[in-house]
Amino acid sequence: MTSSNAVQGAGQLETRGIEPVPENECNGHPLQLFWVWFAANISILGLPLGATLVAFRGLSIGQAIIVAILGAAGSFAVVGVISIAGRRGRAPSLTLSRAIFGVRGNIGPTIVSLMSRLGWETVNTTTAAFVLLSLCSILFSTPVEAKSAPGLTLLFIAIFVLMTLTVSGLGHATLLVIQKWATYIFGALNVVVGGFLIAHIDWAAVFNAAPAPMSAMIIGIGTMAAGTGIGWANAGADMSRYQHRSVTAGRLVASAAFGAGIPLVLLITLGGLLSVGNDHLASATDPIIAIRELLPTWMAVPYLITAFGGLLLSNNLSVYSAGLTTLTLGLKIKRVHAVIVDIVAIFAGSIYFMLIADSFYGPFITFISMLAVPITAWVGIFIVDLLHRHYYSAPDLMDVSPRSAYWYRGGIEWRALGAWALAIVLGYSFTTVATTPENVLFKGFLADSWFGHNGLGWIVTFVVAGGLYAVLGGARDRRPAAQEVVHAR
């Protein structure tokens, strides 16, 4: 991990790793974060999320919009709260987490975070390769099935990961610029594609749809939160660590909530509208192809380009965050090399799921969704700690030896780790894990309770983790010596 003595601009390699950013380099503003979160959530894959609300939960469009606002935009407000820690401590989320869990105790949350990031990146990469296969089949009549064209499949995976590597490898300043200007381009394409999709809406069915019970809305909010903001929560501070110290907490929260909320609410609403009286989109194994079938042939090319761009913008941010998370595990390598390690992992994973495995989306999305439980527990503890902790010791965040103030007992803050572990166990007790309705892999003993039946195990996890940590006295402001402090104003 190499420190930089000067601010890197767009197109220059960011040489800083996870070490806290010096105050003289912190000149960011909330609008930058707005575009980062907007770009990461402009993917056309938001449509199937809305489709499930209407087709499977029976929500009316009005209810689906409310659920989208509370579940998607609301969960990204949580991402904004985590961003406050980045402005205070000037370090990535999981690096700051060392102050809470201890330098060794933090390994568990860090591994979970990295698995989640790599999981979603594999989903993005695999889906993007399918998009390019479909595009190539239209233009050149090549096979659309991955296993029928292994050479093309490998090429398209490589194209996507190399494009991701270019932006994520260069780092923070380049990411800010690319995410902003690419949003204009792919945002405009999304509007065009959305305009054509509107022609398939059954407006009579929309206005005649009966509302679903409140329990269906509650389940929908949990589904939207788990599929959107919760998965990004542990990346909040990764981007905000460069924000100017004058930026208020409210503006950080708003930048995430509105930046991600605007595209997500619009896409989720459109997906819901398309699914009134028609569950094809919600039940499709390949949502990209399902949406393409709704469009005229000549619109398929811009649609697929739009889908590819949205996946790429999401992957850029995810891989950048994953590189920082990898360094937090203690690897003594440069940040760009950590990004390359992550790229190799998702390249290998995508090859396996496209060319070897018999199925992908069902089992893999289930696996990623399971990680939402430990991530939610981490978020609960992190936020409770954030309410009390206004100081982070920069030297001790980077010191993984017993000399660190964050060594605690044996390198572990047992109150935080214990609360995290107990909340995870309890959270899974309310959880049903299944790849299909018929193939149930695991069912917690409280899954049939009101909380479990209504998909509220994540709320129990959040409350128990944060509440127990607070009760045990873990949430208190530890103030190291003034010269070692990164001070939040």
The pLDDT value recorded for residue 218 is 87
Q: Which helix (H) or strand (E) holds 108?
A: helix 107-140
Amino acid letter, 475 = A
Distance between CA 281 and CA 283 in Å, rounded? 6
Torsion sign over Cα 32, 37, 42, 43: positive
> Tens place of pLDDT for every residue, the chain, 489 residues?
444 444 568 889 999 999 999 999 999 999 999 999 999 999 877 888 888 888 878 899 999 999 999 999 999 999 999 999 999 999 999 999 999 999 999 999 999 999 999 998 998 999 899 999 999 998 999 998 888 999 999 999 999 999 999 999 999 999 999 999 998 999 898 889 988 888 889 899 899 889 999 888 988 888 888 889 988 999 999 999 999 999 999 999 999 999 999 999 999 999 999 988 777 777 766 777 778 777 887 888 998 999 999 999 999 999 999 999 999 999 889 999 999 999 999 999 999 988 988 766 666 667 767 888 999 999 999 999 999 898 899 999 999 999 999 999 999 999 999 999 999 999 999 988 776 667 777 889 999 998 888 777 888 999 999 999 999 987 665 554 443 444 443
242: Cβ contacts below 8 Å, ≥ 6 apart: 21, 25, 26, 27, 28, 172
Distance between CA 79 and CA 230 in Å, rounded? 8
Are residues 77 and 251 in contact, defined by beta-carbon separation less than 8 angstroms?
no
Distance between CA 212 and CA 472 in Å, rounded? 41
- Which tokens hold the place of 406? 């964050």
Q: Which residue, 182, 152, 151, 154, is CA-closest to 166?
A: 182
Distance between CA 277 and CA 449 in Å, rounded? 30
* Residue tagged 């780092």 (tokens): 171
Distance between CA 169 and CA 424 in Å, rounded? 33
Distance between CA 465 and CA 138 in Å, rounded? 50
CA angle 372–373–377, rounded 5-degree value:
110
The pLDDT value recorded for residue 290 is 78
The pLDDT value recorded for residue 483 is 39
Residue 412 β-bridge partners: 409
The pLDDT value recorded for residue 488 is 40
* pTM score of the predicted model: 0.92
The pLDDT value recorded for residue 227 is 81
- Which tokens hold the place of 208? 């005649």
How many CB atoms neighbour CB 327 within 10 A?
25
> Dmax of the chain from CA atoms?
69
* Residue tagged 């780790």 (tokens): 417
The pLDDT value recorded for residue 437 is 66
How many CB atoms neighbour CB 147 within 10 A?
11
- Which tokens hold the place of 357? 């495995």
Q: Which residue, 2, 60, 335, 89, is CA-closest to 217?
A: 60
